[in-house]
Amino acid sequence: MSTKEPVVLSVGVIGRGLIGSEVLDQITSEKGRLLNERGIDIRIVAISDIDKQLNVVEGLPLGADWKAAWEATTTAPGFENFDKTMLAAANGVVVDCTASAFIANRYALWLGKGLHVVTPNKKAGSGDLKYFKEVKASQGTGGHFMYECTVGAGLPIIDSIQGLLDTGDKIKTIEGIFSGTLSYIFNTFDGSEPFSAVVSAARKQGFTEPDPRDDLNGLDVARKVVILARECGMDVEIADVPIESLVAPELAKLKTAEEYLAKLPDFDGEFKSKFDEAKANGEVLRYVGSVDAANKQVSVKLRRFPTTHPFAGLAGADNIVQITTERYSPPTGQPLVVRGPGAGAAVTAAGVFYDVLRLAHRLGCSSANPNPKL
């Protein structure tokens, strides 16, 4: 172990769903190794939901015991208690594993008080543009805003874009398959089964939201497109994104997912026609989000690609992004392509965990200023 003093990170996790629980499990599993081998001392100081909070006594060995401790606690947070806990700790890191706009609306406050925020929550990055700029500006007071996992789960997409821009490259276009659900559906939809059967099977296997319309309407992809467009300097709101929804208006009006799935076969012919037309031209169907930074345009829609295109070779629920820049561009070169698992609690949590570790390295690199600007 290094003789250098360990970098202490006091982590408060909000949200105990699949991702939040996995983040806690991964941290508690690796914290001993990280301290001994990397000099990173991660301490869980709070676990919170909207309705209650567990304050963890420093040094308490959590492991799987955090779940039992959580069930036993009845402390209501009100978030005053949570904030007090985090502000009193060394290098407080708020890890927001919710999809809550209410929690996202606290980021500027936390960052302004010197706390760090790590999150896969897309609500701040794709929400009101004025507030997003406020969040980014709040970093200057000491806190870091780490949001790699808002796009592509654990894939290094935002970090790659920031690296390109920091070195003086110019982004031309960003195109990608950003939904693990829609990736799976169109990788599987080969004409042998009706589209409705593919969607139902995806739901049964847990690849979709409980209501598949929440995936098929394209809104989640649009949020990711907004985040990427803003990374390129575009002042884009979600309302500015033309979205081709895969949910017919009459199906969108139905009250339940079961009603939707019962009526979806009525539209199998429409999807089969699109598939057949693409196949006849040696192409495949893919649901793609696009940022045309050069022309300041964004879109989310179902597109056709030749079978030789990188988007045609995906498997399962993989995500892929193709970034074309002045340096990474034909004819002198090729676009930068990042591909890998784009869904799942384990890979998303690992991406969140990695952001926490990147934060530790940033804090450890400047002893003169423990909270440097990004």
Positions marked active-site: 224
Helix (H, G, I), strand (E, B) or coil at 97: coil
Contact 13, 77 (CB under 8 A): no
Check: CB of residue 321 under 8 Å from CB of residue 175: yes
How many other C-beta atoms lie within 10 A of the C-beta of residue 344? 18
Which residues have CB under 8 Å from 199's CB, separation 6+?
185, 208, 212, 216, 261, 264
285 bridge partner residues: 304
Q: Are 157 and 149 within 8 A, CB to CB?
A: no
Per DSSP, 37 falls in state: I
Question: From residue 347, how far is each of 17, 104, 114 by CA, in Å?
Answer: 14, 22, 28
Chain centroid offset of residue 136 CA: 17
Joined tokens for residue 209? 């939201």
